[in-house]
Amino acid sequence: MTSAALVAPYQDLRRETLARDRGLREKVMSLDAAAQLVRDGEHVAIGGCTLSRTPMAMIWALIRAKRRKLTISRSITSTEGDLLLAAGVSNHVITSWFSQGIVWGVSKVMRHYTERKLARFDEWSHMSIGLRYRAGAMGLPFMPSRSMLGSDVGERVADQTKTMACPFTGEPLVLLPALNPDVALIHVQRCDAFGNAQLDGLQFMDIDIAMAAKRVILTTERIITNAQIRRLPDATRIPFFAVEAVVEVPIGCAPHECYGVYEPFFAALDDYAQRVAGDAVAGCRQYLEEYYYAPTSWPEYLSRIGMEATLDACRRGRSVYND
Amino acid sequence: MTEPAAAYTASELLAVMASRLLRDGQIVFAGVGVPLLAATLAQRNHAPHLTILFEGGTIGPFIVPGELPPSTNEQRCTRRANMVLPITDVLLLLQRGYVDVGFMGGAQIDRFGNLNSSFIGEADNPKIRLPGSGGGNDISSLTDMIVAMKHEKRRFVEKVDFITSPGWIGGGGTRAERGLPQGGMWRVVTDLAIMGFDANSREMKVLGLNPGVSREQVEDNTGFRLAFEARLETIEPPRQQELAVLRELDPQRLYTA
């Protein structure tokens, strides 16, 4: 791969950023409208990690909008990766770990697509993914690191990295190319109509992803007023001018978790695991049929997961604030 | 296990043996499952000032018994924590040098302590594509490591198919030569034995056998020629108190079945 293809040219990045409407304006829209902001073939970074703060409603909308050939990047990829591959939306995943979760074993959907070379899975170490987003967020073309040296993980992506001796100390370093995703999908607990986003609990790589990306689509548990944001500006993690769209989607990560609001829907996750335990691709497609294509709205998707399961996840989720 | 009195599972044994390797005051970068249980057990017993770090971004949490996290990234990982911070920054604590021990499970290990969690078979044409590194590569590149895993021939191989998390690479000084002068595999804890690495050759060697385990049993379950320390450590079996703590933490046997 050429260096130019790996790292966005700095002047292009600046020009694109300056061309964005960075005024304090309302940008609330529907899931469907937000899905239209993502174009086929783009690099879409997904916020959250494993089962946490996955922007599932936005992924649901992208799958329904039949986006194609997306490159997906995420710190750790869970069931949403299965679904994006099986729906034909993505054929390239950049991540450090890809399976539903340790307790459910190795994803057979991921295995099907990667082992048959139907999709590409670029494996980077966790910190390397994070430093690549951070370089992108900092407006730098690369970040040096001491990790990934000497291993086959580093060797396997060596066509995308460089190594050098530190110009000060002579120590060996790996240079990780910046990631500037075309779009970042991030789910938060609350934001205002302008896109000032406040995050509770674990932040994962979301702030770097937001600042590295060329467009940010925020989904949020609730929209609050700008006056409320201004009362606690230190809780704001993503500034409005980085954000292109705001979509209010309560329970927008189900069946994954949203810190302080709901824990993972464990029964739903066990059910999914069972569906993909046999013929994984058929099971996953059947799941897509029932949960992604058949429901006409996100509330209808949630109805299929069930009121009891939702209330149980919410009770457990809010319990972090009980003591 | 050989004696009926030994009423514990292999995972419980791993957690107990590993907990005894941790020291008070240490900063331990732990995975969920056996590493988390072992670190928590150490805190309850001999290491009250031990601090757990999770790669999801948590500093110093205490897990609520019966509410074990499914990964290092859920809110269950943050209970009573001192601090939460972004993933990249918690991993950078390893690079900065704040961490004493990295502690995780393993799928496949070789005689130089390299771990594979990426591919079974050829990477370009794998029999099985495994989930990958996660933070494993970073942790094992940047600090001293303990690994807890089942002792099986297919898991203890002469040479791993793929080095996901580097141990001593090709032995001797090769780890440092390949750019990793810091860290390295320190202990491997299994249901059969505790192993370390020769200070010069960096080959795996048995330091002690678990109660009721014979040397032959370890050899039969290892896919390479394993060295044995001349004087093997005596390992005390798990105490009731240790098992009771583990069962309080994991009553549903999510990680200790």
Q: Is B164 close to A151, i.e. CB distance below 8 A?
A: yes
How far is B114 from chain A, CA to nearest CA, in Å?
9
Please report the pLDDT score of residue B70 as a whole number. 87
- A157 and A70 both lie in a single domain: no
pTM as predicted: 0.96
Q: Collect all residues of chain A within an 8 Å Cβ-Cβ radius of residue B58.
A: 202
Please report the pLDDT score of residue B6 as a whole number. 55
Asked whether residue A22 is assigned to any structural domain, the reply reads: no
Asked whether residue A292 is assigned to any structural domain, the reply reads: no
Number of structural domains chain A divides into:
2
Asked whether residue B183 is assigned to any structural domain, the reply reads: yes
CATH number of the domain bearing residue B164 = 3.40.1080.10
Q: What is the CA radius of gyration of chain B?
A: 17
- A35 and A107 both lie in a single domain: yes
What is the distance between the alpha carbons of residues B44 and A185, in angstroms, rounded to a whole number? Answer: 41
Per-residue pLDDT of chain B (257 residues; tens, 9 = 90+): 444 445 899 999 999 999 999 999 999 999 989 999 999 999 999 999 999 999 999 999 998 999 999 889 999 999 999 999 999 999 999 999 999 999 999 899 999 999 999 999 999 999 999 999 999 999 999 999 999 999 999 999 999 999 999 999 999 999 999 999 999 999 999 999 999 999 999 999 999 999 999 999 999 999 999 999 999 998 999 999 999 999 999 999 988 88
CATH number of the domain bearing residue A36 = 3.40.1080.10
- A60 and A112 both lie in a single domain: yes
Q: Collect all residues of chain B within an 8 Å Cβ-Cβ radius of residue A206.
A: 86
How far is A33 from chain B, CA to nearest CA, in Å?
30
Q: Is B55 a catalytic residue?
A: yes
> Each residue of B23-40: pLDDT tens digit?
999 999 999 899 999 999
> Each residue of B8-18: pLDDT tens digit?
999 999 999 99
Query: Which of A205, A201, A204 minimizes the C-alpha distance to A221?
Result: A201
Domain range for A162: 143-177
Decide the pairing of beta strands B204-209 and B193-197: antiparallel
Please report the pLDDT score of residue B3 as a whole number. 42
- A54 and A99 both lie in a single domain: yes
Domain range for B186: 10-249
What is the distance between the alpha carbons of residues A6 and A178, in angstroms, rounded to a whole number? Answer: 8
Please check the confidence at residue A5 and state whether its pLDDT lies above 80.
Answer: no
Asked whether residue B4 is assigned to any structural domain, the reply reads: no
Asked whether residue A50 is assigned to any structural domain, the reply reads: yes
Please report the pLDDT score of residue A2 as a whole number. 53
Q: Is B118 close to A153, i.e. CB distance below 8 A?
A: yes
- The DSSP-derived string for B151-172 is --TTTEESS-SS-SB-SSTTST
Asked whether residue A46 is assigned to any structural domain, the reply reads: yes
Q: Is B166 close to A202, i.e. CB distance below 8 A?
A: no
- A73 and A56 both lie in a single domain: yes
Q: Is A204 close to B87, i.e. CB distance below 8 A?
A: yes
> Each residue of A279-290: pLDDT tens digit?
999 999 999 999
What is the distance between the alpha carbons of residues B81 and A221, in angstroms, rounded to a whole number? Answer: 24
For range A56-79, the mean pLDDT: 98
Asked whether residue A208 is assigned to any structural domain, the reply reads: yes
| Beta-sheet strand order (sheet of A142-145) | A142-145, A172-177, A162-165
Q: Collect all residues of chain A within an 8 Å Cβ-Cβ radius of residue B71.
A: 49-51, 76, 101-102
Q: Which positions ≥6 away from B9 have C-beta within 8 Å?
A: B253, B256, B257
Task: Let me know: does A268 contact A52? Beta carbons within 8 Å.
Answer: no
**Quick check: ipTM above 0.85?**
yes
Among chain A residues, the shortest Cα distance to B79 is held by: A320
- A40 and A155 both lie in a single domain: no
Task: Let me know: does A190 contact A222? Beta carbons within 8 Å.
Answer: yes
> Each residue of A209-219: pLDDT tens digit?
999 999 999 99
Asked whether residue A134 is assigned to any structural domain, the reply reads: no
CA–CA distances in Å: residue A202 to residues A29, A239, B59, B77, B181: 26, 18, 11, 9, 32
Asked whether residue A9 is assigned to any structural domain, the reply reads: no
Asked whether residue A2 is assigned to any structural domain, the reply reads: no
pLDDT class of A6 with cuts at 50, 70, 90: confident
Number of structural domains chain B divides into:
1
Asked whether residue B176 is assigned to any structural domain, the reply reads: yes
- What residues pair up with B116 in beta bridges, in sequence order? B108
> Each residue of B46-91: pLDDT tens digit?
999 999 999 999 999 998 999 999 889 999 999 999 999 999 999 9
Please report the pLDDT score of residue A3 as a whole number. 56
- Given the residues B55, B158, B203, B219, the one annotated as active site: B55
Q: Collect all residues of chain B within an 8 Å Cβ-Cβ radius of residue A95.
A: 132
Among chain B residues, the shortest Cα distance to A170 is held by: B179
* Any A CB within 8 A of B167 CB: no
> Each residue of A82-95: pLDDT tens digit?
999 999 999 999 99
- A212 and A265 both lie in a single domain: yes
Please check the confidence at residue A146 and state whether its pLDDT lies above 90.
Answer: yes
